[in-house]
A and B are shown apart, each in its own frame.
Chain A
Amino acid sequence: MRFLVALILLIFTTLSYGHETYCPQVKFNGKKIDFSKTEIQLFCGDPKSHAWKKIPAYEAEVVIRGFLQSRGYLSPRFEVKDEVLHVTKGRKSIVKKVKVISHDENLAKKIKREIRRLYQGRELTTSMLNSIEAEVIAQIRRKGRPCGKASSEVDVNTDTVTILLDPKEKHVFGKIKTEEIKGLHETALERFYPMNEHQRFDGDLLTLTERRMLRAQVVSGTYFLESCADDGKEFSLEQRFIPGPPRTLRFGAGASTEMGPIARARWSNNRWGPMASLLSASAEASFREQLLNMVVDYYAWKSNPRQSITGLAELSRDSQFEFEQLQTRARTQMKWTTDIHENGIIGILGPGYDYGTFASASKTNTQSFSTGVIEGSLQRMSHDYEIYDIHPQEGEQERLTLYYVNPTLGFKQSLTRVDTSIVRLARLMNSGRGAIIGGARLKAGTSFVRANTDPGGLPPDMKFFGGGSDDIRGYLLNTLPKNGGAGALTRLVGKFEARRTHFFLESLEGFTFLDAGYFSERSFAIDRRMFYSPGVGMRWLSPIGVVETYWARAFASNPYQDNGNFFFAGIGGNF
């Protein structure tokens, strides 16, 4: 019996730790490695390729060493016996120790701390080493050192990563040489720069500049060329563009049993005039819907490229089975942008005019309104918030919007709609390879109207609604307050969220939240009833954007009400 047990153990041991043969000329000792077909062809030879049919043993050793390094096996042993290459892959390596060698000891300490936090315990591979070097470079570029260099070495015996950091000198951005775009004034694109020439270099601000330009679609692409000379003592920047065509025109015609004949045209110019102003117009027409829209953001001042006049003219008619609505909107506003102390600030203010008529199946008499408006907004967004495309992880944003009408301007009563939004995102602590991020958003707004005004009699744009993935997450979109769709004159919503980035995977994020909000049908007052929903969820920062799923439980107080579970899954996920 003992012999039988020993035999079985021996067989299993041999199976587990025996020789793995991919081809007669290469044998691996130990557990099987899941080499890809391409990899096996590269060390065993590819019978289907004349050029790669035979791989000499020394070449097989070279490529196998590379393949093993990409899997974290850094100290393999090779031996050629009887024209057979025997490979012992050895142990897997992880980042155990990090050393940073630099003449700037303070900087070295900071970098070491951060690299240890991000990488300690992770599998040591070539791509990991590249990632470490890239992270070090990114960090010193944020500290004003564009010419810095970092290289690394690993002692495979002790799994120690040694980073050789040569930070070079600090620089300011300096005068940026820009490629000329035909027809544009040299100051036209200055409004996109978050920095000035005397400001200390920060690589992130170059990225932000690019993103601002692409988001505005003023050019198809842009990039900076950095030049370091004299061992990093001299630094210069050059910006180049992929201008792309500025104008697009599309039109079409068709028919639908629901809409009748349809005609559609759309035109836009994202680089209009010498200051790269924006101009777009669109028109759509069918029996049921007609829309005429023109938007302009006109930069008139060459000496002040961050000041513009924005305009909107829109005429729409919507003739549906149950209601008919005609709307005219016009706006002429001044717009200012500036960047101060790592913040981007946008201010818009100006008059406008709204005209509308509407009739419904239940109220067949046509009602109308015609009023002048004063509308404006002020927004501050920190650069570290703005640099994120979709899903900011740190930084601040505040936004105040103002909408004002009164009888003098033509509205039936005086109404001032003030809406504010304050967002704070902060890295609270590091946790494993990720971080715990705390987020808070406060949405407070009210429409000042005379007492006893029925919200149901006001246009939807002048009121507040709640619920949805961007608001109180346990409720459906715009279903709060639950007053039959009349909306609220005051809203106070607080959203609190704690995120754990690098949640099992680098691209996953786990979060828990509590959203709560008060509404009221009166101005500058809140009802006692609170709608709130705690929940947990997960976000996947996928290549095509944030994919979010969460579970929330919807409650209401005064009187207490449990509105049940709410599941959400979808693209997007704006906190």
Chain B
Amino acid sequence: MKKIFYLIGGFLALIVGLVLLTLAVLFFDPTIAINAKNIAWVLEKTHVLDSWSWKKMEIGHQWIKWNDRHLTGDIRDFCFRKNAESSKVYTCFDEISWDFDLGFDFKEKFFTKVHKPFKVHSPLTEVKLLPSPPTKEKSSPPDIYRYWNLFWSDMVPDMDVRFAAIRLTTDGKQHDFDFTLVKTGKRLTAGAMKFTLFANPKDFELRAPEKILIPEHIETLGPFYIRDLTLTGKVREEMIPLHLTGHVEDVLLKTDAILELPIAEGMTLKRKFLGSIKGEILVPAFRKTLAHKSYGIFRELPAPFNVLDGKVITTFEGKEKGKDEVRFDSLTNIDLASPHQVLNLDIAAGTDLPVSTWRPDTIELGLDFHQVRIELPRLSSKRPPPQMIPDKRFKNGPYRPPEEKKAATDVLVHLTALNRKALQIVTNLLDEPVRLNFDLLIGEGKVNKGHVSVLPLKTEIFRRPIRLRELVLTFDEPKEPVIKAEVLFPLPEYKIKLVLEGPVSSPRYAFTSDPPLQQNDIYAVLLFGRPLSDLDPDSRTAAQKTNQILANGILSLSVLYFLAGSPVEYVGFDPDSKSAVAQFGLTKKTSLRVGGGEEGMNSGGLRHSLGKGWYIDTGVQRHPSSSTNQNKSYGVLLERVISY
């Protein structure tokens, strides 16, 4: 037992003694161990490098005090090649040199005093990255804050590292760049591929080259550059707040994010980083930006939007949500205008993004119209508008059953326009713009709930004034959308109200009037300015026949619309009595009626509105009597229609 104890104790004492001896040698004269010969011997024995060479290697040491040494080194034309499992490296260094004092005291422990920066200059470096199998071992994320502080500690001397030409080959592609790193006291300047990093122990700033060409596979009209890209950060113990600014041509990009320390692993890092992002994109001259660089359809918006110009601002923000999701919200304000048009609206978008799949289930989109005034093309009032949008049902090939769709992201859209100026449509067919309000919820490609309403409108259609008091389109899935509208026809003698209501595919309409009339009479008043039953008091047959036509709904609203534009208010013919009646508008309140039969024109009359439902009718009628003489009868009728 004792033997074993002495054996182990002796072995430990030998190791401690050897370590102390090595330290003592290194401390008092490290060149005893670290010199060109020994390094070459170690490199050869360990196979750390596959091949190497240098022209000169001098490692110097000077005794200053018992606790202070002056260390120098100068290696020239050192080249090596290393073929590892994951990479192949070949590099040469013109110079690797150092010149500093290394000391130790009991207060500051180790300290350095740099006479010349640690210099590494390489004219050529070739690195080839090889595809490597995925490693199962999870490496714990680096403690960035500790490394950062270590870098700025006195132990790390000033340095001047320059790689003039690095050729990095990965996936068969070559990337040539340079790399410099100059540390002087508490300042660091580093550069690679024209990116420059300025740093001190508290802050850093990464500046991109003045212009970065966007990769050519993005189709643009001309070269497309990112300018003035700058990333700044403040290194704190718990976090690194980052701020990115830059211009994509005229577009200003500003983003803030926070990198929490210590850096978390995988998903948590993504979640925390994306959850801290805030940013803003400003397009100050929208039209110019589109016209300068964009391609094809994006180069110029379609009419009537292509004359609009102004700015577009987008702000976006990420927030952590749960263990696996980040909530992204953005708000885009489009503020464009042209001499007769305005487009001022907010587009709010939001989604819960699972960081594991990057595939959101739903995207919520909200469009809030503040002021939109759009001009429709000038349309003819005499024919229906042309088919402006191609019909997608016409296809260039036989019918193919649709492929099974992958579960697509559902886009939930909330459209709102809820003020008097929110949406105005200007058309030459109406005297004043159509003002629209709406509040719509759209999902799965259809409007699920909401309404569209046209605000009150006054206009004149074919010389007839109309007032649209209300028009509401209500959506309530799964029912068909329902339209409800109220149009007033303030005619001289009657105020007629058209109620349009029903499924939007086939709305029903009904007329009411003040003073009230039966439906058939209302049609007649609209068309002819007076009730049908009064058109020919001596012949009910004609009125009854026309009534039948009207009551059965043969007369459509479109016919009313077109007839209303005619100067002739009414032309009627009764086949049985073979009499015809025509009515012409003389003034807004007066109309002339003439009638005739087989024997020619035989009646005439004037009708004049006195207002408030009173009107006066005067007429003359010539009719053959049983004898050869002809009589003329003259009449006057005062009529009042009461509503209740």
Contact = CB atoms under 8 A, between A and B. Distances in A.
A249 B501 contact: no
Given A46-B378, A50-B338, A545 B549 contact: yes
Interface in A206-248: 210-211, 214-215, 217, 219-229, 238, 240, 242, 244-245, 247-248
Contact of A255 (B395, B396, B556, B635): B635
Interface in A453-476: 468-469
A245 B499 CA distance: 12
B266 interface: no
A254 B375 contact: no
B554 A543 contact: yes
A56 B393 contact: no
B643 interface: yes
B387 A69 contact: yes
Interface in A288-344: 321-322
A66 interface: yes
A506 interface: no
A322 B626 contact: yes
B171 to A, nearest CB: 37
Interface in B523-582: 545-546, 548-549, 551-556, 558-559, 572-576
A254 B377 contact: no
B510 A228 contact: no
Among B515, B517, B556, B575, the one with the most A-chain Cβ atoms within 10 Å of its Cβ is B575
A38 B387 CA distance: 11
A543 B517 CA distance: 23
Contacts of A511: none
B621 interface: yes
B478 A229 contact: yes
Contacts of A50: 307, 338-340, 375
A176 interface: no
Interface in B482-514: 482, 499, 501-503, 506-512
B375 A242 contact: no
A466 to B, nearest CB: 14
A70 B509 CA distance: 29
A442 to B, nearest CB: 23
Given A51-B340, A215-B552, A252-B640, A56 B391 contact: no
Nearest to B400: A153
B389 interface: yes
Interface stretch (B97-105, B298-306, B411-419): B298-306
Contacts of A251: 639-642
Contact of A211 (B307, B552, B631): B552
Contact of A214 (B551, B574, B636): B551
Given A42-B377, A49-B375, A225-B480, A252 B639 contact: yes
Interface in B367-383: 374-375, 377-380, 383
A148 B393 CA distance: 19
Contacts, number: 273
B555 A543 contact: yes
A51 B393 CA distance: 30
B398 A155 contact: yes
Contacts of A254: 617, 635-639
Contact of B501 (A59, A70, A217, A240): A240
Contact of A571 (B389, B391, B545, B552): B545
A62 interface: yes
A154 interface: yes
B386 interface: yes
Contact of A67 (B307, B387, B501, B508): B387
Nearest to A160: B398
B42 to A, nearest CB: 70
Contact of B341 (A51, A99, A215, A571): A51
A229 B480 CA distance: 12
Max chain A CB contacts within 10 Å: which of B303, B307, B572? B303
Interface stretch (A16-24, A257-265, A421-429): A257-265
A244 B512 contact: yes
Contacts of B332: none
A572 interface: yes
A217 B380 contact: no
Contacts of A571: 545-546, 549, 572-575
A221 B553 CA distance: 11
Contact of B516 (A48, A155, A248): A248
A140 B340 CA distance: 49
Interface string B5-29: 0000000000000000000000000
B399 interface: yes
Contact of B388 (A63, A259, A544): A63
A222 B339 contact: no
A101 interface: yes
A52 B633 contact: no
B637 A570 contact: no
A36 B385 CA distance: 10
A46 B394 contact: no
A252 B613 CA distance: 11
Interface in A48-92: 48-56, 58-59, 62-63, 65-67, 69-70, 74-75
Interface in B277-301: 296-297, 299-301
B393 A544 contact: no
A37 interface: yes
A414 interface: no
Contacts of B383: 36, 38
Nearest to A163: B399
Given A56-B300, A66-B390, A229-B478, A223 B339 contact: no
A152 interface: yes
Contacts of A48: 378
A158 interface: yes
Interface in B586-644: 617, 619, 621, 625-626, 631-644
B553 A211 contact: yes
B357 to A, nearest CB: 29
Nearest to B542: A571
A572 B633 CA distance: 30
A328 to B, nearest CB: 20
A39 interface: yes
Contacts of A217: 518-519, 551
B633 A258 contact: yes
A36 B388 CA distance: 13
Contacts of A468: 576
B222 interface: no
Contacts of B636: 254-256
Interface string B124-162: 000000000000000000000000000000000000000
B479 interface: yes
A56 B338 contact: no
Contacts of A69: 387, 390-391, 394
A15 interface: no
A268 B619 CA distance: 27
A39 B303 contact: no
Nearest to A262: B637
B179 to A, nearest CB: 47
A415 B569 CA distance: 49
B215 interface: no
B562 to A, nearest CB: 9
Contacts of B339: 50
Contact of A156 (B299, B396, B506): B396
Interface in A141-166: 151-158, 160, 162, 164
A543 B559 contact: yes
B373 to A, nearest CB: 10
Given A70-B387, A154-B394, A217-B519, 15 more contacts: A51-B303, A53-B303, A58-B297, A75-B396, A155-B396, A157-B397, A225-B480, A240-B501, A242-B510, A244-B519, A254-B635, A255-B636, A256-B619, A544-B549, A545-B548
Q: What 3 A-B pairs come out closest when comparing CB atoms?
A: A570-B575, A254-B637, A252-B639
14 contacts: A41-B377, A51-B341, A52-B304, A54-B306, A54-B307, A66-B390, A158-B398, A214-B519, A223-B501, A223-B506, A242-B501, A252-B639, A390-B548, A571-B545
